[in-house]
Amino acid sequence: MASPATAAAQPDPRLRQRTIALVGLMGVGKSSLGRRLAQVLDLPFRDADEEIEKAAGRTVPEIFAERGETEFRDGERRVIARLLEEPPHVLATGGGAFVQPETRALLKAKALTVWLKADVETLARRVGRKDGRPLLAGKDPVQVLSDMANIRYPAYAEAEIHVETGESAHAAAVQAVLDALDAHLKQAGQ
């Protein structure tokens, strides 16, 4: 029989039975935390934006520039629908995916949805370190993220699980997600 310390370190095997979809604003860590979460759970990791780029043969900023956000969101929904037909994995969605009603309905029906949250100033610092965010091009990140939060938070609030990641180190944030998933499973089992 496993010791309590060993048992606590092992994630609940039920977490490997359904895709776990991470939603939230850009810069919150959906991809970086998602990769680590997948590793801990021994699940494959999928990044919706990477899959969209593979399918389209161009980058997300190129798709936005050439086709516009509406066409991008339509392609994003098709890619996410395809990914949700795969065996369970951890899925990092784009920041706007869960805001789209059809995509949100797909994710809620076929995945366990987790809203990763952090304050806007933290997110602005994180996204300021990278180029390639078409919705931020030439704009003040704090203002854009604040506006996005006002629009997107009501949709994100429909996720089954909410986790505040803040300034946490990746290991602590992954543990917070695991704890929230475990609590969700325990509550669902009652």
Q: Taking phi first (over 0 means left), then psi (-120 to 50 degrees means alpha), and beta for anything else, what does residue 27 get? A: left
**Distance, CA of 39 to CA of 21 (rounded, Å):** 15
- Report residue 29: phi and psi, to 5°: 110, 20
136-186 pLDDT, tens digit per residue, is 667 788 898 999 999 999 999 999 999 998 887 889 999 999 999 999 998
What's the pLDDT score for residue 85? 97
Locate 78 and state its tokens.
């098709």
Domain ranges, ordered by start, for the chain: 18-180
Eight-class DSSP state of 81: H
Eight-class DSSP state of 160: S
Helix axes 101-110, 60-83, angle to 10 degrees: 40
Q: Does domain 18-180 have CATH number 3.40.50.300?
A: yes
Q: Distances in Å between the alpha carbon of 63 and those of 51, 81, 152, 190?
A: 13, 19, 21, 45
47-87 pLDDT, tens digit per residue, is 999 999 999 999 988 998 899 888 999 999 999 999 999 99
